[in-house]
Structures are given as C-alpha cells and as structure tokens.
Amino acid sequence: MALHRGRGFAAINYPIGMNLGGDPSQALIHSNPDGKFTVALSAIDLGQGMKSVTRQIAAETLGVPVTDVYVDTADSDTGPHDMGSFASRGTHRMGNAVIMAAKEARAVMLEAAAEELEVDAADLVTDGRGNIHVRGAPGRSITTMAAAQAAQFKQGRTIAGRGIFLIPLSDVDPDTGEMTPVSTFAHAAMLVEVEVDDETGEVTITDMKSAYEVGRALNPRLVEQQLRGGAWMGMSHAAWETTEPYYPARDHGPVDFNTYLMPGPGDLAPHHISVLERPAEDGPYGGKGPGEMCANPVLPAVVNAVYDAIGVRVDELPVTPEKVLRGLRAQGGAKPRRRL
C-alpha cells in the first residue's frame, strides 16, 4: 500500500450571460424625500449576493453612500421584468440596468441641487458621502437629503430613474454554427494536488492554487465567497457527486444526503486564490460574473492530477475509488508520472 502524490492543471474561460443574448433586465430607482434610494428589481438573490452587488453599483453611480441605498427584490407587482438569476448573468445584465437607472436618477438629483445652489447642474459633483458640491469648490454644497427634500416639497420633481440592459438576440447559422454567443468572458487557471491511495482507491485533494480573472471584483468578499464555494463544488463534482453512480443505469440513485456523497468539512482542500481584474468593456464597472466558472477548472485538474499520481486516466466522472482501483488493476499498479 502506498500514497501517491500528483499535480494536475486546467485552464478555462467562461461566457457571461445567456447565449445569443435576448435576455433583458430592468431596474427602477427612486428616492424618498430624505435622499434615501430604493432600487426595485425582480432579480433573485440565491445567496450569491445579488442584492449587495446591485446596491453597491447603485450607490457608486448615484454618488451616495451605500447605506443610503436599499435593494428591494423580487415582487412582480413592483419590480420590473428580469430574465432571472442564471447563466452568470445577474451582475453583468442587472448591474448595467442599475447603472442606467441610477444615472437617470442622479441627473434629476443634481438638477434639484443645482436649483437650490443656483448653479449649473453640469458643474456639480458628488462626494459619495452624502454631499453634492460645485466642482473645485467644496464649500458651495448641499446634502443629498436637502436636495431630495427640495425636489419633493419645493420643486415638484421625482428623483427616479429607469434602466434596462439588453443584448439583442442574435442568429445561429445552421451549417457553420456562426454566432455571437456572448459579449464577455471570464477566465481561470487551476493547479490541484492530490494523494491517491493505491490500496483503497481513495483520492484526497490536498491543495488548490488558482487564478481567476473576473473583470472587476465589485465586492472582493463576495467574489471570494463565490470562488471558494464554487471551487469546492468543483471538487465535489470531480470526486464525489452524482445522482446516477452507474450511469446510464439508474440503479443506486441517492435519495438523501446520506447516500448523495459530498465532501465534508474535513475533505475540503485549502485553496490559494489569486484574483485578476481585466475590465470588460460592457461590464458594470468592468465586472463579469464569477459565479459559475469557478467550479469548472477543478474537475479536469483533479483527473489530470490523478493521472500524474498513478498513471490512470479516469475519463468518466466522478473519480470514485472503484474506478481508480479498476484502472490500477488494468495497468498492473501505480505508474506515477510526476510531470508538474
């Protein structure tokens, strides 16, 4: 019996948003008389942080503190249409819709402030801390709250904005597959280290080193949350999970978490993440969607690492001890490669 160590590598890119476009998102933003803003959406927060990232995008664009913004989602009577939270589209599509809505609302807010300050709205800037002032003259200022109150009670203006983002639906050529799938791609590379037990066939993933390129880390904590959880999900896809362990036969299908295998806390590998940011030209502040792609490089990196460790190719997921042992038996024992 011996433990064999191996390293495997994989690199991927990932398309952001629904393929071919045609998946609009809308946002509505309005201010109450205190200068606090509500963003109304129909986006879904599945735990990925949809509400938080749209809140930061709205605050940045409006030029107000994030604490002055609340995101309300999803009620079909009050939130405008959105295609949904899938295809890594939330941040990209909805983020852009929120920017458009926030720009419109900001313009009205600045007009209201300009009227109070008796200056041209084009000369006004926001400091992001709740004040609007004349560019280069911070002394000539008004709070966003005072501007909103003036808009509501003196000027009769609605500080509100509408936003939509739509990449129009495009064609596919049936004969060549020519198409415009998406407008932007995220990227990743991953090196995984494994230990393979040639007696039990068990594969232990001992370390992951990655680089993820996400356009812009709009909220670095949320990005880390996605990358860390997603890579563990990738680990799980590689070596644990399936609803049909003997696919295509349907036997031995799991019915609960006792029989549906996933890594426990003790199985999770340390993951050393590097985040790269190459802004997408049509992304909100350059942001892409890190949500889905973070799992993808782990699957092939694990099978490549198993090959590196014992010389067995497991081309059918998941990499179970049974498959490893059958592979070892077929080639007459472990044949370590140690190429990386």
Partner 1 sequence: MSGTLTDQPMIDFRKEIFADERDDNLNEIGKPTRRQDITGHVTGRSPFYDDHLFEGLLHIRCVRSPHHAARVRRIDLSAAERMPGVVRILTGKDVPRNLNTLLSLLDFGIDDEPVLSTDRVRYRGEPVAAVIATSEARARDAVAKVLVEWEPLPHVLDVEEAIKPGAPVVLDIYPSNKFIYHGKYDHQKLRYGDVEAAFRQADHIVEGRYQMSPIEQAPIETCGAIATPEQNGRYACYSATQALFFSLAVSSKVLEMPSSRLHFIGGTVGGGFGGKVDSIHEPLAILGAMLTGRPCKCMWDREEEMQVGAPRGAERWYIKDGVMRDGRIIARSFTGYFDSGAYTRLSSYAIIKGVGHLPGPYTIPNVSANVYCVYTNRTPATAMRGFGITGVDFAIEAHMDKVADTVGLNPIELRILNAYRDGDMKAHRRLAKNCALIECCQVVAEKAGVKLSPAMLAASSRKGGGGDRARLPTNTATDQDGLVRGFQGGSYGRKGAKPASLPGLSQTIQSAAPMPAQTPPPATAPQQPPPRVGSMRFSSLSGFRRR
Q: Which of residues 157-186 bind partner 1 (CB under 8 A)?
A: 166, 168-172, 174-182, 184-185
307 makes contact with partner 1 (CB under 8 A)? yes
Task: Supply the minimum distance, in Å, between the C-beta of residue 231 and partner 1.
Answer: 12
**Residue among 36, 70, 160, 162 that touches partner 1 (CB under 8 A):** 70
Task: Supply the minimum distance, in Å, between the C-beta of residue 234 and partner 1.
Answer: 8
- Identify the H or E element spanning 235: helix 220-239
| Other CB atoms within 10 Å distance of the CB of residue 13 | 11
What's the CA gap between 138 and 66, in Å, rounded? 21
Amino acid residing at 233: M
What's the CA gap between 216 and 187, in Å, rounded? 12
Amino acid residing at 97: A
What's the CA gap between 86 and 84, in Å, rounded? 6
Site string for partner 1, 126-155 (x = CB under 8 A): --x---------------------------
310 makes contact with partner 1 (CB under 8 A)? no
Find where tokens 């280069």 sit.
Answer: 136
**Residue among 22, 33, 138, 333 that touches partner 1 (CB under 8 A):** 22
What's the CA gap between 108 and 220, in Å, rounded? 31
**Residue among 120, 199, 316, 322 that touches partner 1 (CB under 8 A):** 316
Applying the rule CB under 8 A, the residues between 204 and 243 that interact with partner 1 are 204-207, 209-213, 216-222, 224, 227, 230, 233, 237, 241-243
201 makes contact with partner 1 (CB under 8 A)? no
262 makes contact with partner 1 (CB under 8 A)? yes
Task: Supply the minimum distance, in Å, between the C-beta of residue 198 and partner 1.
Answer: 19
The answer to whether the beta carbons of residues 292 and 14 sit under 8 Å apart is yes
The answer to whether the beta carbons of residues 194 and 204 sit under 8 Å apart is yes
Task: Supply the minimum distance, in Å, between the C-beta of residue 316 and partner 1.
Answer: 4
6 makes contact with partner 1 (CB under 8 A)? no
**Residue among 27, 59, 109, 117 that touches partner 1 (CB under 8 A):** 59
28 makes contact with partner 1 (CB under 8 A)? no
Applying the rule CB under 8 A, the residues between 81 and 120 that interact with partner 1 are 81-87
| Other CB atoms within 10 Å distance of the CB of residue 157 | 17
Task: Supply the minimum distance, in Å, between the C-beta of residue 336 and partner 1.
Answer: 13
330 makes contact with partner 1 (CB under 8 A)? no
**Residue among 6, 60, 196, 312 that touches partner 1 (CB under 8 A):** 60
What's the CA gap between 167 and 60, in Å, rounded? 23
Helix axes 321-331, 298-310, angle to 10 degrees: 40
- Identify the H or E element spanning 196: strand 185-197
What's the CA gap between 291 and 274, in Å, rounded? 15
Closer CB to partner 1, residue 191 or residue 328? Answer: 191
266 makes contact with partner 1 (CB under 8 A)? yes
Closer CB to partner 1, residue 24 or residue 140? Answer: 24
The residue range among 77-85, 105-113, 136-144, 145-153 that interacts with partner 1, by the rule CB under 8 A, is 77-85
**Residue among 112, 145, 295, 312 that touches partner 1 (CB under 8 A):** 295
Give me Rg for the CA atoms of the chain: 26
**Residue among 116, 141, 202, 279 that touches partner 1 (CB under 8 A):** 279
Helix axes 95-117, 50-62, angle to 10 degrees: 30
What's the CA gap between 132 and 119, in Å, rounded? 12
